[in-house]
Amino acid sequence: MGTAAIVGGGIGGLAVAAALVRRGWDVRVYEQAPGFTEVGAGISMWANALSALDAIGVGDEVRAAGAHPGRGGFRDRRGRWLARGAGAADELVMLHRADLLAILRAAVPAECLVAGRRVEDPRVTGGRAVVEGTPVDLLVGADGLRSRVRQVFWPDAAAPRYAGYTAWRFVLPHAGVPRFDGSETWGGGLVFGAFPMGRGMSTDHIYCYAAARSPEDARVPDELTELRRRFAGWPDPIPALLAAADPAAVLRHDLGYLPDLPSFTAGPVALVGDAAHAMTPNLGQGACQALEDAVTLAALVDEPDGLARYDALRRPRAQAIARRSRQVAAMAHLSWGPAAALRNLAVRLTPDSAARRQLQSVAGWRAPSPG
């Protein structure tokens, strides 16, 4: 058992804290925001993430808070199915990020949570990390794409890069919108996704997202009007969803990713989540990979070479998924007609068995058994 300081109180940081507390560690989670809250929209928890959440002891609570989108699938610009969920994952749950964060926060004792505190000068002395003047056995950087911990202990690492895409996200009640099968629709370099989502203990909500190639920082005063302009004439239910959306609920974020790091650990310091492997959202794996990081780190950290094993297990897998996500982004955003037509044909002709194998390679991960 040991002591740990976790910088960043998002999904990855709280998951590490919950996993370490279950193993008897004394932890402190430092979050620079005034509270441990989340203002994002929806999030997908695939089977690998649910396995990690089970290891933390909150998997059933997450399942109860979310919705199961069913088969789902991909459509073309005219609304024709390119592929339906071929055995969609053994499990897939859609819920609000704020609900997931609240569940994780409740799994960490209140005395472990330190809000409104920015960690400025972490360091390592005599083989131990020092945070806020206190020596600890483990320092975890869970502080996102622009991680301060990574900047301090990986000073030569490549800076985050803009992926070339901007994304919009919003949530709306299902009331007034006809029922539909969840889907992601591709056309003309644009993407629009819509899926049923849990919100609190209600499953009667819809999570919508859209993405487009865009110059960086190209925001407009009214993002909902921009979405309605870009997706005018798209197939149902997209017009109804945009008509029902609240302008204040629409979030826009440019998408970034982190070039591969040479290691996720440096002495007693470990990185998790976006601080280690920020990726585009095209596989729905950003938070899922952070949860894999969290439970793997907690399972190994008490071993003599635990951090080295954590790096050996997590880095190749997370970086491969990040690269694959960028490849899917490039494919989904094809705008040249002949190339998009070939893509659509290839997706239509992909056998269900091949689609299941591809899915299993990502979502088939299972949490390590407790040591």
- Domains present along the chain, CATH in parentheses: 3-69+91-161+258-333 (3.50.50.60)
Distance of CA 270 to the CA centre of its chain: 19
Burial class (CB in 10 A: 0-12, 13-18, 19+), 250: buried
What sections of 231-336 are H helices per DSSP?
238-244, 274-277, 286-300, 306-332
State the pairing for strand pair 92-96/3-7.
unpaired
Give residue 214's pLDDT. Answer: 95
Burial class (CB in 10 A: 0-12, 13-18, 19+), 194: buried
Task: Tell me the angle at which helices 97-106 and 11-22 cross, rounded to the nearest 10 degrees.
Answer: 30
Closest CA to 211 of 303, 281, 147, 284: 281
* pLDDT, tens digit (0-9, with 9 covering 90-100), for 302-324: 999 999 999 999 999 999 999 99
Hey, which bits of the chain come out as E strands?
Answer: 3-7, 26-31, 42-46, 73-75, 81-84, 92-96, 113-115, 123-125, 128-131, 134-136, 138-141, 161-173, 183-187, 190-199, 202-213, 251-257, 265-266, 269-271
User: Does pLDDT of 202 surpass 60?
Assistant: no
- Between 223 and 178, the more confident residue is 223
- The residue assigned the tokens 């644009």 is 190
| Partners of residue 206 on adjacent β-strands | 172, 196
Q: Give the C-alpha separation, 166 to 181, whole Å.
A: 25
Distance of CA 134 to the CA centre of its chain: 31
If you average pLDDT over residues 265-281, what whole number do you get? 98
State the pairing for strand pair 183-187/73-75.
parallel
If you average pLDDT over residues 341-367, what whole number do you get? 93
Length in residues, the chain: 371
Rounded to the nearest 10 degrees, how much is the dihedral formed by the CA atoms of 299, 301, 305, 310? 60
User: Does pLDDT of 369 surpass 90?
Assistant: no
Give residue 118's pLDDT. Answer: 92
Closest CA to 28 of 106, 99, 115: 115
Give residue 203's pLDDT. Answer: 62
75 within 8 A of 81, measured Cβ to Cβ:
yes
Which of 67-71, 161-165, 244-248 comes out lowest in average pLDDT? 67-71
Give residue 177's pLDDT. Answer: 83
Which residue type does 166 have?
T
Fill in the DSSP letter of residue 262. Answer: S
Helix, strand, coil share (%) of the chain residues, nearest 5? 40, 25, 35
If you average pLDDT over residues 93-102, what whole number do you get? 94
**What sign does the CA torsion over 181, 248, 146, 259 have?**
positive
Query: What is the token pair recorded at 131?
Result: 């945070």
What are phi and psi for residue 251, nearest 5 degrees? Answer: -105, 140
User: Does pLDDT of 120 surpass 90?
Assistant: no
Quick one: what percent of the chain has pLDDT higher than 90?
A: 84
User: Does pLDDT of 10 surpass 80?
Assistant: yes
User: Does pLDDT of 88 surpass 60?
Assistant: no
Burial class (CB in 10 A: 0-12, 13-18, 19+), 260: middle
Give residue 200's pLDDT. Answer: 64
Q: CB-hemisphere CA count at 13 Å for 236?
A: 5
User: Does pLDDT of 72 surpass 90?
Assistant: no
